[in-house]
Amino acid sequence: MRYTAKDRPEAGFFTYFYKYGLYVVLLSLILIFSLINHNFFSVNNARNLLQQTSSAGIAAAGLVFVLVTGGIDVSIGSTLFMTSIISALLTDNGLGFWGAVGASMLCGALIGCVNGFFIAKIKMTPLIVTLAMMYIIRGVAITIVGIKTTFFNNPIGIFIARTRLFTVIPVVVAVLAVTAAIAQFILGKTLFGKQLYAIGNNRTAAEISGIKVTRNIFISYVICGMLAGLSGLISGAQVGGISPTFAQGQEFIIICSTVLGGVSLFGGRGKVFPGAFLGVLIIMCIENGLVMARTNMYAYTIIRGIIIFIAVMLDSQRNRGETR
Amino acid at 177: A
Helices (H), 68-145: 76-92, 97-116, 126-145
In a domain, 271, yes or no: no
Is the confidence at residue 3, as pLDDT, over 50? no
What's the rounded Cα separation, in Å, for the pair 43 and 314? 33
What's the rounded Cα separation, in Å, for the pair 27 and 113? 40
Peptide bond into 9 cis (omega under 30): no
In a domain, 17, yes or no: no
Q: pLDDT by residue (tens digit) across 308-319?
A: 777 777 767 766
3-state secondary structure of 25: helix
In a domain, 285, yes or no: no
Minimum mean pLDDT range among 142-151, 175-184, 294-303: 294-303
In a domain, 229, yes or no: yes
In a domain, 244, yes or no: yes
Among 130, 150, 179, which residue's Cα sits nearest to residue 83? 150
Is the confidence at residue 11, as pLDDT, over 70? no
Using alpha carbons only, how large is the chain's radius of gyration in Å?
20
What's the rounded Cα separation, in Å, for the pair 237 and 90? 13
pTM exceeds 0.75, yes or no: yes
Q: pLDDT by residue (tens digit) across 67-112?
A: 999 999 999 999 999 999 999 999 998 888 999 999 999 999 999 9
* Domain hosting residue 167, numbered range: 45-248
- The number of domains in the chain is 1
In a domain, 109, yes or no: yes
In a domain, 110, yes or no: yes
Among 250, 105, 126, which residue's Cα sits nearest to residue 179? 105
Contact 173, 48 (CB under 8 A): no
In a domain, 83, yes or no: yes
